[in-house]
Amino acid sequence: MQEGKDVVTLMYPNSASRISREMDSTDVSTKMFVRSVESDIYKGIVNIMDCTANFSREDYIMNFDYLHDIGTITDEQYAAIPEYEREMRKLNEELVPL
């Protein structure tokens, strides 16, 4: 490293074209269940199904951003998620009175 410069040089004994990266998303959570809790503040049970930010009104949160970012799901699959959430919301709103 030269003085006054922020330069690092890596020397590989073999061709750099043989360097590969293996993607492993086995420990990535795309669906997290959220238990309902009793709250003194809200005087009763609080659950994620009633949260306005939870569009599908399910008892879980889904997030596929990471899988989309690393390319394991296609743009088409990623774009289908909002439609799935709309359908789930519709079904869940029909179930609420029951």
Domain ranges of the chain: 32-95
Predicted confidence band of residue 1 (pLDDT cuts 50, 70, 90): very low
Nearest Cα neighbor of 51 from 37, 67, 65, 66 is: 37
Checking if the pLDDT of 5 tops 90, the result is no
Q: pLDDT tens digits for 29-83?
A: 788 888 888 888 877 888 888 888 788 888 888 889 988 998 889 999 999 999 9
pTM of this structure: 0.56
At 38, is the secondary structure helix, strand, or coil?
Answer: strand
Q: Note the pLDDT of residue 81.
A: 92
